[in-house]
């Protein structure tokens, strides 16, 4: 019996040595990392076996990963559970269950409808641009974050959502909508109407940069050109960013040959994205505001630095970092900041934003889009030059 005990003890010791050796190699060959790994595993096992409440392995692991991301102190590096990761994926591709409105969040705890898509439940219910959403299913949105508001409004196709709407000086009223599958159209164009001298000014609104944005932008631009467009206004207001690839593709349609943006990682390695085109043969005006962020700032900054257009509106958000989205094994994932980006002149707008060439405030009580009117005025002046 004593012999068997000694053999078992030796085997256990050998196994422990092997595990430590594997950890030592896998974690970069430092005992400090091995110790930290043992601390993590030991804590996990102790909590799992002794915690008085109900807890699962999945909850513990999710919490550990979330804690790791929180420890970075970077609001753009986050852990996303299955539901949040699905929402992010839907923003970048395909379609989603919703009501067909583009929302803006001008201040914390506020939500305003910017545009209502054609042929959607929002249009059928009579929702209008500038309508304020003040409650979702009877719940006041004052304490909600923008992503929480969007999450509550979206949902499975065929389900209902009740919005409480405040329209100008009217009393708030409820609207019941049945969610439908909403195609994610992110770039939409039109010709500005009723100009005094008959100028042909095109307008393209880019709501975000997702999988099909560059393709949609190219199609809208071609349509406006066929209508005789003389100048283009690009509206990036409340555009939170998105896919760098589509932003660069659009910039390549507008900028002459040269740098669009450069990405610099923690080791100082630089990746440069360039335009290979000839540049636009028409004047450009770009609209931005305090909610224009990330990829929208890359496009605005590149146009400004290369002097290919005039920036109108308010100073942008100031998100000058790039995130990688990494799916994990249970439908969840992480979003991690892996680089900072710089405009063609070498500017970092992180925490600073893009300053407009022509600053214009949009008063809350205004019934006219003052910023768009100023952009049209600037464009008309350009066409007279």
How far apart, in whole angstroms, are the C-alpha atoms of residue 20 and residue 34? 7
How far apart, in whole angstroms, are the C-alpha atoms of residue 72 and residue 89? 23
β-strands 160-166, 132-136 pairing? antiparallel
Q: How far is CA 303 from CA 133, 247, 296, 309, 344, in A?
A: 34, 12, 11, 6, 9
Residue position matching structure tokens 């986050």: 78
Scored b (16 or more CB within 10 A) or e, 227-244 reads eebbbbbbbbbbbbbbbb
Strand partners, 256: 278
Sign of the alpha-carbon dihedral angle for 181, 220, 192, 240:
positive
Question: How many other β-carbons are positioned within 10 Å of the β-carbon of residue 305?
Answer: 20
Strand partners, 272: 262
How far apart, in whole angstroms, are the C-alpha atoms of residue 288 and residue 356? 8
> CA 373, 238, 227: angle at the middle one, nearest 5?
50
- Torsion, Cα 128 313 74 249, to 10 degrees, reads 90
Burial class (CB in 10 A: 0-12, 13-18, 19+), 39: exposed
How far apart, in whole angstroms, are the C-alpha atoms of residue 81 and residue 66? 9
Catalytic residues: 294, 305, 319
């Amino acid at each position: 019996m004593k012999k068997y005990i000694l053999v078992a003890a030796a085997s256990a010791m050998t196994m422990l040595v092997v595990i430590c050796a594997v950890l030592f190699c896998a974690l970069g060959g430092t005992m400090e990392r091995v110790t930290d790994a043992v601390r993590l595993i030991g804590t996990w096992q102790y909590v799992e076996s002794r915690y008085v409440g109900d807890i699962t392995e999945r909850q513990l692991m999710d919490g550990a990963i979330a804690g790791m991301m929180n420890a970075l102190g970077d609001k753009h590096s986050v852990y996303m559970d299955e539901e949040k990761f699905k929402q992010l994926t839907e923003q970048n591709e395909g379609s989603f269950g919703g009501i067909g409105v583009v929302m803006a969040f001008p201040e914390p705890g506020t939500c305003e409808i910017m545009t209502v898509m054609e042929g959607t439940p929002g249009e059928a219910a009579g929702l209008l641009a500038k309508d304020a959403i003040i409650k979702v299913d009877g719940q006041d949105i004052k304490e909600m974050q923008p992503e929480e508001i969007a999450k509550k409004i979206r949902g499975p196709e065929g389900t209902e959502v009740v919005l409480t709407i405040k329209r100008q000086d009217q009393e708030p009223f409820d609207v019941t909508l049945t969610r439908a599958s909403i195609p994610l159209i992110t770039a939409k164009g039109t010709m500005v109407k009723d100009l005094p001298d008959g100028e042909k000014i095109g307008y393209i609104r880019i709501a975000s940069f997702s999988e099909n944005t560059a393709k949609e932008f190219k199609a809208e631009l071609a349509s406006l050109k066929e209508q005789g467009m003389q100048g283009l206004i690009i509206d990036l207001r409340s555009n939170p960013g998105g896919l760098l690839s589509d932003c660069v593709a659009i910039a390549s349609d507008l900028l002459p040959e040269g740098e669009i943006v450069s990405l610099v990682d923690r080791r100082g390695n630089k990746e440069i994205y360039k335009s290979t085109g000839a540049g636009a043969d028409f004047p450009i005006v770009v609209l931005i505001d305090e909610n224009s962020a990330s990829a929208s700032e890359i496009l605005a900054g590149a146009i400004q630095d290369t002097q290919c257009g005039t920036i109108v509106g308010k100073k942008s958000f100031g998100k000058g970092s790039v995130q990688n989205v990494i799916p994990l094994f249970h439908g969840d994932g992480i979003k991690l900041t892996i680089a900072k980006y710089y405009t063609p002149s070498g500017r970092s707008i992180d925490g600073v934003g893009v300053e407009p060439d022509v600053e214009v405030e949009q008063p809350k009580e205004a019934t006219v889009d003052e910023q768009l009117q100023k952009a049209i005025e600037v464009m008309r002046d350009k066409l007279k030059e």
